[in-house]
Structure 1
Amino acid sequence: MASSCEHFSEIHTYSGNTVGCEECLKTGDKWVHLRLCLTCGHVGCCDASVNKHATKHFHETQHPLIKSAEPGETWGWCYIDRKMFPAI
């Protein structure tokens, strides 16, 4: 995993706005895994989910960093640099 990323200065939160995918909760859809935007706290579903809301959120906002919102997982991802990093 990468140890640094120039986008780390854009981390503003480690807590989510919701306990599930924000969009899927509104529509009643299901998700596979959850991802947390470290810029704004948006919680979206992963790319293995039908709706891929976490990646759609990146494309809409350009917020570069997410982390897994799955219990026990401690990794993050920068969409721009396409690098993984350890996340708390």
Structure 2
Amino acid sequence: MNLTMSCTHIADLGPEPVADAVSECAECLAEGSRGWVHLRKCLTCGHIACCDSSPARHASQHFQVTGHPIMRSYEPGEQWRWCYVDSRIV
């Protein structure tokens, strides 16, 4: 993780999008699983997906497919954000 580099992607974000799910990973459900650990929200489109500690890692897959650079924790009480491009908390 590179903590000395600044993230320029944060400045490109608009208003936070509405989440496309309330409290579940749609990809996991489509695969017949409820085995996610934590959820993440894409700050470009609002897609909710499971974290990298989950077996399927759908949030990272969403970044790989779409290129949307920043997600945030979608866990109650957490607001931290992660930039996939810069591999850092922003």
TM-score category (smaller protein)? 0.7 to 0.9
Find runs of 4+ consecutive structure 1 residues off by over 6 angstroms.
none
Identity %: 49
Q: How does 1:50-61 map to 2 (within 5 A)?
A: 50-61=55-66
Pick the aligned partner of 2:13 from 10, 15, 21: 10
Aligned-residue Cα RMSD (Å) equals 1.9
TM-score normalized by structure 1?
Answer: 0.84
Matched, 1:25 2:61: no
The runs of 5 or more residues in structure 1 that have no matched partner are none
The structure whose Rg is larger is 2
Matched letter for residue 25 of structure 1: L
Aligned residues between the structures: 84
Pick the aligned partner of 1:64 from 66, 69, 72: 69
The runs of 5 or more residues in structure 2 that have no matched partner are none
Deviation at 1:22, TM superposition (A): 1.9
Deviation at 1:14, TM superposition (A): 4.3
Matched letter for residue 17 of structure 1: D
Please give the secondary structure, in 2, of the residue aligned with 1:23: helix
